[in-house]
Structure 1
Amino acid sequence: MITHIDHLVLTTRDLDACIDFYTQVLNMELIKFGDNRVAFSFGQHKINVHEYGCEIEPKAHLPVPGSLDICLISHSSTEQIKLHLEATQVEILEEPVTRTGACGPNTSYYLRDPDLNLIEISHYQSSHKTGG
């Protein structure tokens, strides 16, 4: 029945810092739509952004900044990911660690966005099914 994720919603306290992180550190495309809505696009997916206290209805039961824990897949090598993160001067919490993702073993770096959400950037070492 379900084939893939279309979008998810992130709640932020600081829209400008959030935009800077997701566009500069994660290289996502900023999208503005509707009535002053903001989202980040990557591949065939997007992350919609709600400002804390001004969420769009309907919304999660308890939308709070810092509650997101997400794994994002990169086609860049683990070495390229590390060089990019170092160039953006973002703090790397764990590097590189082997995990098991939806498509098998991968290598991940962990960091936090400005709202302290946990961001895992992962690279699959071998070919894998991408879904869709």
Structure 2
Amino acid sequence: MQLSPFHLAIPVHNLNECRNFYTNVLNLEEGRNSDYWVDYKFFGHQLVIHFKPKTKKDTHTSLVDGKDVPVPHFGVVLSWEAFHEFAELLKSKGIQFIIEPYIRFEGQVGEQATMFFKDPSGNAIEIKAFKDMSQLFAK
């Protein structure tokens, strides 16, 4: 089966603040937009931020490799080199990480680089990479 780009829509409670974050902090290319939503090219996929008034929501985490991983979250798998370049970009822009970039499951099946951070609306984002992409779904 051929892989196709995915489409993901997420809610944001401040469209202008999040538009600045995705455009100027993450350096994503903006596509179509309106007063209520903005499309982004998210590493070859389509990410859409949609305005939604702020509500109180519970924060939940799941323990993975000794770290509290935020649930829900979304993200992408990059090449090993692109992951490290992107991590340096985020550090240079002062991103506050939920989980700093590190190697998860080191020396085990599924070894991967990972990092977690939030956008201004609190959406958790995971960026990860595998030295060996054949390990992506390894058990």
TM-score range normalised by the length of the shorter chain: 0.5 to 0.7
2:22 is matched by which residue type in structure 1? Y
The CA distance in 1 between the partners of 2:82 and 2:29, in whole Å, is 21
The CA distance in 1 between the partners of 2:97 and 2:128, in whole Å, is 13
**1:120 shift after superposition:** 0.9
Which residue of structure 1 lines up, in the alignment, with residue 130 of structure 2? 124
Deviations 1:10-42 (A, max 9, x none): 111111111122122322211124786411113
1:44 is matched by which residue type in structure 2? G
Mean CA deviation greater in 107-116 or 77-86: 77-86
2:98 is matched by which residue type in structure 1? L
1:120 is matched by which residue type in structure 2? E
Structure 1's unaligned 5+ residue stretches are 54-63
- Which structure is richer in relative contact order (CA contacts within 8 A, separation 6 or more)? 1
**1:74 shift after superposition:** 2.5
After TM superposition, the structure 1 = structure 2 runs for residues 19-58 of structure 1, keeping only pairs within 5 Å, are 19-33=19-33, 37-53=37-53
Structure 2's unaligned 5+ residue stretches are 60-70
CA RMSD of aligned residues (A): 3.3
Count of residues in Structure 1 that have an aligned counterpart in Structure 2: 116
CA contact (8 A) 1:85 1:92 kept: no
Deviations 1:48-107 (A, max 9, x none): 221115xxxxxxxxxx8x8851122223355423321111111012121416xxxx4321
Q: What TM-score do the two structures reach when normalised by structure 1?
A: 0.68
- The alpha-carbon distance between structure 1 residues 124 and 26, as it changes in their structure 2 partners (threshold 3 A), is farther
Q: What TM-score do the two structures reach when normalised by structure 2?
A: 0.65
After TM superposition, the structure 1 = structure 2 runs for residues 1-132 of structure 1, keeping only pairs within 5 Å, are 4=4, 6-33=6-33, 37-53=37-53, 68-75=72-79, 76-95=81-100, 96-98=102-104, 104-128=110-134
CA contact (8 A) 1:97 1:109 kept: no
